[in-house]
Amino acid sequence: MTTPHRIALPPQLDTGCATAQLARLCQALDALPAGSACVLDAAQVQQFDSAGLAVLLACRRHALASGKTVHVAQWPDKLHALAQVYGVAAWLAPEAPALAQSA
C-alpha cells in the first residue's frame, strides 16, 4: 500500500479566504497522480467557519471526480465538532462511504 499524499491546510479556512483556498487545494489535488489517496492535514487550522467546511467537502468532490480519495486528519476539536453538527464528518473520514460521493 502506498503512503497517502499530504496537503497541509492553512491556519485560516473561513469565508474570507474560502474561494482562494479552494482553488489552491484543487490545484494541489490536480497535481497528484490518478488513483492517489490524499490526506488534508488540518493540524494548523485555527480559524474556520462553515465556509471552510464547505471547502473541505468541495475538495472531496473534486478528488472523487478525478479518481482520487481525500480525507481529513488531525482535526482541531472544534472543526471536527462543526463537521459532526452538520453531519458531514463521516464523509471526510478515512473510511468515507462511496455512497456519499454526492456530498
Predicted local distance difference test score (pLDDT) of residue 4: 87
Q: Where are the alpha helices (DSSP H) in the chain?
A: 18-30, 50-65, 77-85
- Asked if the model's pLDDT at residue 101 lies above 90, the reply is no
Q: Which residue has the higher pLDDT, 91 or 97?
A: 91
33 touches 54 (CB < 8 A): no
pLDDT of residue 30: 96
CATH fold of 5-98: Transcription Regulator spoIIAA (3.30.750)
pLDDT digits over 12-56, tens only?
999 999 999 999 999 999 999 989 999 999 999 999 999 999 999
Which are the contacts of 72, defined by CB distance < 8 A and separation ≥ 6?
9, 39, 40, 42, 56, 92, 93
Q: Would you say how long the chain is, in residues?
A: 103
Domain positions in the chain: 5-98
7 three-class SS: strand
